[in-house]
C-alpha cells in the first residue's frame, strides 16, 4: 500500500499526520483516510506530501 511508504518517512522524520496536514494544507481527516486504506491520495496530494517531507515521489513508489 502506498501509505506504508509515506508512514515510513513520517516515522523517520518524527512527523505526525496532524503536522503533515498543517504542512500540506490537506485535511487531517483526508490523511487519516489514506492511512486506513479508505481512499488513495491523488497525484496532486502526493506531490504536496512529498514536498512537505522533502523527498522525491520515487520514495513512495511500490516496486514489484
Length reported for the chain: 64
Output the tens digit of pLDDT for each of the chain's 64 residues.
789 999 999 999 999 999 999 999 999 999 999 999 999 999 999 999 999 999 999 988 876 5
Separation CA 5–CA 32 (nearest Å): 15
3-state secondary structure 1-48: CHHHHHHHHHHHHCCCHHHHHHHHCCCHHHHHHHHCCCCCCCHHHHHH
Amino acid at each position: 500500500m502506498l501509505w506504508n511508504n509515506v508512514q515510513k518517512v513520517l516515522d523517520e522524520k518524527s512527523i505526525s499526520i496532524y503536522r503533515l496536514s498543517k504542512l500540506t494544507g490537506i485535511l487531517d481527516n483526508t490523511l487519516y483516510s489514506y492511512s486506513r486504506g479508505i481512499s488513495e491520495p491523488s497525484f496532486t496530494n502526493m506531490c504536496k506530501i512529498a514536498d512537505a517531507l522533502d523527498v522525491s515521489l520515487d520514495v513512495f513508489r511500490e516496486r514489484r
